[in-house]
Homo-oligomer: A and B are copies of this chain.
Amino acid sequence: MKSSIRKLLKPSQRPFGLENPFCFSFKEAPIKSHVRLLLASALTAVAGLAFSTQSLAQTDPLPSWNDGPTKQAIVNFVQTTTERSSTGFVPPEERIATFDQDGTLWVEHPIYTQVLYCLDRVPTVVKKKPELAKVEPFKTVLSGDREAIAKLSKNDLFKILDATLTGMSVDEFNAEVKKWLETARNSRWKQPYTKLTYLPMIELLKYLRANGYRTYIVTGGGQDFVREYSEEVYGIPPEQVVGTMGGTKYGYDKEGKSFLTKEPKLLLNDDDAGKPEGIHLMIGRRPYAAFGNSTGDRQMLEYTKAGDGARLAMLVFHDDAEREYAYGPAQGLPDTKVGIFSQELYDEAKKDGWIVISMKNDWKRILRLRELTRSFYVHSVVISESRPWWTN
């Protein structure tokens, strides 16, 4: 983790305008009301055109994937398991697909988003419990000394996680996460973290769901944390999020109304072997397809492939330093402490018929960023008639 925190503190600083030219020009000058209306009309037409193009292009459910064996393997799997005449046909109720989150559905470098949340929460926690200000590791986090923060031990990190993720009611926690997600910005793309999802994977989620699969997140991240945005960001409802699980404690407030408090009690560490264990606990069925990107996903993919019939196991390989990040250490890529893809994992994948997705070669586009922005833009102007976002 140490090296990752260090990376975080020296981020590359790309201007957002390069990612989204629309945004850049509109931001430059104030736009008067009637011009806005005119623009809205024009854009409605453009949107209409876009929709027609979309319906023409419906034959390709994975437009952000380059043609090739990786994309073909996905399409073959879906056809094999959903066509009634196929020997590999899977009844709809058994169609389960599980997705790791960090590094598989959204950016995990230079450091896991939830860890950033926890570091950001430290001042608030200390405000409520001033005695912590003089205690490590809180003292170091509060000092703002980036070098020192980067050197915190794993044990220190757990203390921070405990202090910032437990001890409050479930409702309070949810509200805090929601607020943070709205205001926090990634240092490289200057965007909310929820926009740093991978467009090809979002297409894959939708494609599987359109074919009767229920998509689950199976993450080493906190179950409650991910649930706060999974529906909006991935179309995955809270009950389909399997994560690292902490206990809660039932109690009553002063008015006798019941509520749950988040406890510093680990029920299941949903990583490595904990992933199939968590899948059994929360779903009770073996997945037919599983997607990951690091050694923490190995057992989930093994467990998936150990089932009968057609099963799909895929690993996202971060080999695109230019458009995202490159890390392994498999295939000679730089080593990392966040989302390790070891050579051993790479070899097991090749040996056992898992498919390694090369971000560089298999994905036309990586981040969903632009799409989300445009869709929100069309929504705000045309549908809800609220002020377009660039005037905020």
Q: What is A's interface to B at a CB cutoff of 8 Å? A: 93, 170, 223-224, 227, 231, 237-239, 241, 245, 247-250, 257-260, 267-268, 273, 276-277, 280-285, 299, 302-303, 306
- Looking at the assembled complex, report how far the CB atom of A372 sits from the nearest CB atom of chain B, in whole angstroms: 20
Q: Whose C-beta in chain B lies nearest to the C-beta of A303?
A: B258
A284 close to B239 (CB less than 8 A): yes
In the assembly, how many copies of this chain are there?
2
Known: A238-B285, A267-B268. A306 touches B257 (CB 8 A): yes
In the assembled complex, the Cα of A258 lies from the Cα of B170 at a distance in Å of 35
In the assembled complex, the Cα of A62 lies from the Cα of B306 at a distance in Å of 44
With a cutoff of 8 Å between Cβ atoms, the chain B residues found around residue A280 in the complex are 170, 248, 260
A303 close to B250 (CB less than 8 A): yes
With a cutoff of 8 Å between Cβ atoms, the chain B residues found around residue A259 in the complex are 306
A282 close to B250 (CB less than 8 A): no
- Tell me which of B258, B260, B277, B303 contacts A249 (CB under 8 A): B277
B239 close to A281 (CB less than 8 A): no
With a cutoff of 8 Å between Cβ atoms, the chain B residues found around residue A248 in the complex are 277, 280-281
B299 close to A276 (CB less than 8 A): no
- Looking at the assembled complex, report how far the CB atom of A264 sits from the nearest CB atom of chain B, in whole angstroms: 15
A237 close to B277 (CB less than 8 A): no
With a cutoff of 8 Å between Cβ atoms, the chain B residues found around residue A306 in the complex are 257-259
Pick 23 A–B contacts, CB within 8 A, sort by A.
A170-B280, A223-B281, A223-B284, A224-B284, A227-B284, A238-B283, A238-B284, A238-B285, A239-B284, A239-B285, A245-B281, A247-B268, A248-B281, A249-B273, A250-B273, A250-B277, A250-B303, A257-B306, A258-B299, A258-B302, A259-B306, A267-B268, A267-B281
